[in-house]
A and B are shown apart, each in its own frame.
Chain A
Amino acid sequence: MNYNVYPEIKPGKKFFKRIYISIMMWVVGRGIQAAARVDKVVKAEFLKLGDDFSFSLGVVPDGPFMIVGTNKKGKVKYMGWNPEGKQISLKLCIKNIEAAFLVFSFQESTAIAFAHNRFIVDGDLPASLSIVKVLDRVEIYLLPKFFASMAVKRYPKWSELPPLRKYIGRVLIYLRVFTIG
């Protein structure tokens, strides 16, 4: 047998999907920071998680990542994409880039992805459920109803999130995402 016919195969990269997920993580990360100032539910969830809480959401092994946490002043802040050197209380890792693409292209909701065992949770499990709730809430603000209803576990009724509040919140969050944060 000629062994050279069967060479070693090094893994390639899925550039398009990596770029797409990086952009989505940046928008969602900044969106969480903005939503914590605009929406009461997101604010309350972070208050429950306490001071010095931070979490990362990323794809193993090489990213992309996003880090969000509470700073010394108690404000929720998007802390960038590099987890190195940061003290992170909760690490949420998606097992591969395809699973991340399913989540961020709204083919699979965060709750379903959790149920499909596509996440690795390193940290407090109740805190991770709070973060899933925050992610759902932010997606409701960021996305039109058609996409958001595919991305979240349950789209809120009018009584839970009145349309006026939703649309004002959406404008404010988008303004903050692309300006002051």
Chain B
Amino acid sequence: MHIAAYYEFFIQAKIISGNKAMEQLPVELDSYNSRKPFAIMSKKIAKSASGKKFIKALYDSNVIIGAMYDNVPDYASISMIKELAVLFRNRGCDSIIVIGDGAVMDVGRGVNILVSQKDDDLLKYAGKNILKKSLKPLIYIPTSTSTGYESSNLAIIEAREFSSDFLYPDIICIDPRITVKNCSQCVAESAMVALTHSIEIFAVPVINPVTDSYALASIQYIYENLEKAVKRSGNKEARLAIANAEVMAGIAFSNSTAGMAHSLGVAMADSTGLSQGVCMGILLPYCLEFMLYKKNTIRDILLFAIAGHDVYSETPEDERIQKSFNMLHRFHQNFKKLLPQTFEQVNVPEYKMTEAALRAAGSNKKLMIDDCLIVLEHAYHGKPI
């Protein structure tokens, strides 16, 4: 095993996962001296009656929910964040509980910045490490369609990036009653984002053993459970595993650097309006293939995560990467009913490739436009590199 010459790892969150996990929240809030949380929930989640389950979980406790805003759309806007901050202050709340995925967590983080900094100008805090003091306790209850960004230290509000270690949630509470109510396609898409982030950990030249362990567990959970989770939405165990994998991938990603599949996937999603999960799912095998072609380092422990101990041990060292790449390709094909296999299938115009390549190279300085174009062209037609 390689020994890391130097590494850093930071995680603020306490993770509570499993049966009756939400019932633990009153005691956890008590440890932060908090009695009146402000709950924020997405519209999608509110429809699935998860709000009632959350309220019921806090029965027989001394926690009063200051307000439960269950109307967050798929987009985090500053005006809404400001209004929610006013509601938070009016009710005298002292912590924030976010239930859902995507924009709702960005809204939660935005509200937390405003109420903790006692300010009304959110844009002042946009950028990297602008926040200088800790915020109010932030509790995050994920669904099985979280992409993992929710567990990281990043918020994207009106196309502006807010990044700080103070933005990590303090508690991540993964409860099967919340993770079970999501559509299969959304679960598959978000799992692809998590899988991309975890797999790219092994393509980063810097070795970080703690990040590796999170990524390994995340890949194993996704490989073993994604098929079961999308087949039957009521499979609590599989959905819980996927939610755990997404959280772990998010934590690993926030302690690592963005890889090629992530940068290209985000750029393609921004250019085409497709979901990041669809784009990263298509791009991941081609990015890995391209790295193999370029003889970039991908650590063979990836096969261990994908196939387990037995296959890893019986495969010769120089064939492990190729084998893991083949298995990954097959894994993605298993979900062809839910996830498109090429960009051609989803009728993306070809000129969008150039636009996405430029965006990706602009956001990730390590990427060359020509390299991005090669990968995108092959991913467009589904041709091996």
B61 to A96, Cβ gap below 8 A? yes
Least CB distance, B114 to chain A, in whole angstroms: 15
A1 to B60, Cβ gap below 8 A? no
Contacting residue for A60 out of B27, B64, B65, CB 8 A: B27
A12 to B59, Cβ gap below 8 A? yes
Interface size class of chain A, counting residues whose CB lies under 8 Å from the partner chain: 20 to 34
B377 within 8 A of A: no
Interface size class of chain B, counting residues whose CB lies under 8 Å from the partner chain: 20 to 34
Please give, as numbers and ranges, the residues of chain B lying within 8 Å of A99 by CB-CB distance: 20, 23-24
Least CB distance, A101 to chain B, in whole angstroms: 9
Please give, as numbers and ranges, the residues of chain B lying within 8 Å of A12 by CB-CB distance: 55-56, 59-60
B59 to A97, Cβ gap below 8 A? yes
In the docked arrangement, what's the CA distance between A8 and B187, Å? 32
Chain B proximity mask over A64-101: 1 for CB below 8 Å, otherwise 0:
00000000000000000000000000000001111100
In the docked arrangement, what's the CA distance between A96 and B61, Å? 8
> Which single residue of chain A is at the shortest CB-CB distance from B19?
A102
B24 to A95, Cβ gap below 8 A? yes
Contacting residue for A6 out of B20, B24, B69, CB 8 A: B69
B64 to A3, Cβ gap below 8 A? no
In the docked arrangement, what's the CA distance between A99 and B23, Å? 8
Please give, as numbers and ranges, the residues of chain B lying within 8 Å of A102 by CB-CB distance: 19-20
A11 to B27, Cβ gap below 8 A? no
Interface residues of B in 10-27 (CB under 8 A from A): 18-20, 23-24, 26-27
Contacting residue for A11 out of B59, B67, B90, B91, CB 8 A: B59
> Which single residue of chain B is at the shortest CB-CB distance from A97?
B60
B62 within 8 A of A: yes
In the docked arrangement, what's the CA distance between A18 and B59, Å? 11
B64 to A7, Cβ gap below 8 A? no
In the docked arrangement, what's the CA distance between A62 and B60, Å? 7
In the docked arrangement, what's the CA distance between A14 and B60, Å? 7
Chain B proximity mask over A5-40: 1 for CB below 8 Å, otherwise 0:
011111111100110000000000000000000000
Contacting residue for B68 out of A9, A11, A97, CB 8 A: A9
B83 to A96, Cβ gap below 8 A? no
In the docked arrangement, what's the CA distance between A59 and B212, Å? 39
In the docked arrangement, what's the CA distance between A13 and B63, Å? 12
Least CB distance, A30 to chain B, in whole angstroms: 24
Interface residues of B in 59-105 (CB under 8 A from A): 59-69, 83, 86-87, 90-91
B58 within 8 A of A: yes
In the docked arrangement, what's the CA distance between A116 and B16, Å? 10
A120 within 8 A of B: yes
A61 within 8 A of B: yes
A95 to B23, Cβ gap below 8 A? yes
B58 to A1, Cβ gap below 8 A? no
Given the contacts A96-B60, A120-B27, A8 and B65 also touching, CB distance less than 8 Å: yes
A1 to B83, Cβ gap below 8 A? yes
B55 to A13, Cβ gap below 8 A? no
In the docked arrangement, what's the CA distance between A125 and B28, Å? 21
Given the contacts A3-B90, A6-B67, A6-B87, A11 and B20 also touching, CB distance less than 8 Å: no
A10 to B64, Cβ gap below 8 A? yes
Least CB distance, B141 to chain A, in whole angstroms: 16
In the docked arrangement, what's the CA distance between A74 and B146, Å? 58
Please give, as numbers and ranges, the residues of chain A lying within 8 Å of B64 by CB-CB distance: 8-11
In the docked arrangement, what's the CA distance between A14 and B64, Å? 16
In the docked arrangement, what's the CA distance between A151 and B57, Å? 24
Least CB distance, B53 to chain A, in whole angstroms: 12
Interface residues of A in 90-124 (CB under 8 A from B): 95-99, 102, 116, 118, 120
Please give, as numbers and ranges, the residues of chain A lying within 8 Å of B26 by CB-CB distance: 61, 95-96
Please give, as numbers and ranges, the residues of chain B lying within 8 Å of A97 by CB-CB distance: 23, 59-60
Please give, as numbers and ranges, the residues of chain B lying within 8 Å of A60 by CB-CB distance: 27
Please give, as numbers and ranges, the residues of chain A lying within 8 Å of B65 by CB-CB distance: 8-9
Given the contacts A8-B66, A61-B61, A98 and B23 also touching, CB distance less than 8 Å: yes
Contacting residue for B67 out of A7, A62, A95, A98, CB 8 A: A7
Question: Among B24, B56, B59, B91, which residue has the most Cβ atoms of chain A within 10 A?
Answer: B59
B83 to A61, Cβ gap below 8 A? no
Least CB distance, A5 to chain B, in whole angstroms: 9
Question: Among A18, A61, A120, which residue has the most Cβ atoms of chain B within 10 A?
Answer: A61
Please give, as numbers and ranges, the residues of chain B lying within 8 Å of A96 by CB-CB distance: 20, 23-24, 26-27, 60-61
Contacting residue for B63 out of A11, A98, A118, A120, CB 8 A: A11
Least CB distance, A33 to chain B, in whole angstroms: 27
> B-contacting residues of A (Cβ < 8 Å)?
1, 3, 6-14, 17-18, 59-62, 95-99, 102, 116, 118, 120
**27 pairs of residues in contact across A and B, judged by CB atoms under 8 Å:** A6-B67, A6-B68, A7-B67, A8-B64, A8-B91, A9-B64, A11-B58, A11-B60, A11-B61, A11-B63, A12-B55, A13-B59, A61-B26, A62-B60, A95-B24, A95-B26, A96-B20, A96-B23, A96-B60, A97-B59, A97-B60, A98-B23, A99-B23, A99-B24, A102-B19, A102-B20, A118-B24
User: Which 7 A-B pairs have CB atoms at the shortest separation, nearest pair first?
Assistant: A9-B65, A6-B67, A96-B23, A98-B23, A97-B60, A95-B27, A98-B20
